[in-house]
Amino acid sequence: MLNAASTGFATGFVLILAIGAQNAFVLRQGLRRAHVFWVCLTCATSDAILIAAGVSGFGAIADSTPWLPDLMRWLGVAFLTGYGVSRLNAARAPQAALALSGEAEPLRKALLTCLAFTWLNPHVYLDTLALIGAVSVPFEGSAKLAFGGGAISASFVFFFGLGYGARLLAPLLQSPRAWQILDAGIGLLMLVLALSLALH
């Protein structure tokens, strides 16, 4: 049981560690101290649903719908491109740069953006439904449940650690210029990810 849980935790943590659109958004919300708890909870809960589906064998069902990957891919390209352009536009305007104490966007908008980053990202399905699902195959019964629980706990640890740990960078981001650089970096990252998805 312990071995299965630790294997699940390590697998989930390694897969989620790479900086992507979802992680960059959580980092930005953490730096702004804007709806951090709800954003982290939304990301982790979404991952938990997908991981549970992958461990329970939903990957086979996803493979039986050949049109689904392409649909998700182009929806992801459109969303990442739009968000990337919006961040680059924010970086161009000094008055739009966000100070740490600046007014936060509404919770509803933040959560919808967070959900889009999660559910419109084809890589999320690859990581959770396919890869985690495949690694869980050797485990059976209670050991499989332990593996899934370990992978899900890794997601909660990562997102809450990223969201609240981002505050350690706060002293470096007190100026509008620093926020311009951050927004420009996030915008470029989104466009690179969109291009990567389009060429996949």
pLDDT in tens, 98-129: 445 445 688 999 999 999 988 888 778 777 77
Could you give the CA distance from residue 24 to residue 11 in angstroms, rounded to a whole number?
21
Count the domains in the chain: 1
176 — pLDDT class (breaks 50, 70, 90): confident
Mean pLDDT of 42-50: 92
> Which of 64-73, 167-176, 188-197 has the largest mean confidence?
188-197
Q: HSE of 15 in the Cβ direction (CA atoms, 13 Å)?
A: 24
CB 120 within 8 A of CB 76: yes
Among 24-28, 32-36, 59-63, 191-195, where is mean pLDDT lowest? 59-63
Q: Give the model's pLDDT for residue 60.
A: 61
Q: Choose among 141, 149, 186: nearest CA to 166.
A: 186
Q: Give the model's pLDDT for residue 97.
A: 42
CB 145 within 8 A of CB 52: no
Tokens of 93: 């305007």
Say which residue, 135 or 160, is predicted with more confidence: 160
For residue 145, the enclosing domain spans 2-199
Say which residue, 23 or 21, is predicted with more confidence: 23
Q: Give the model's pLDDT for residue 98.
A: 46
Mean pLDDT of 57-83: 71
Mean pLDDT, all residues of the chain: 80
Say which residue, 134 or 3, is predicted with more confidence: 3
Could you give the CA distance from residue 95 to residue 90 in angstroms, rounded to a whole number?
9
Q: Give the model's pLDDT for residue 95.
A: 47
Of the chain, the percentage scoring pLDDT greater than 90 comes to 18
pTM of the model: 0.72
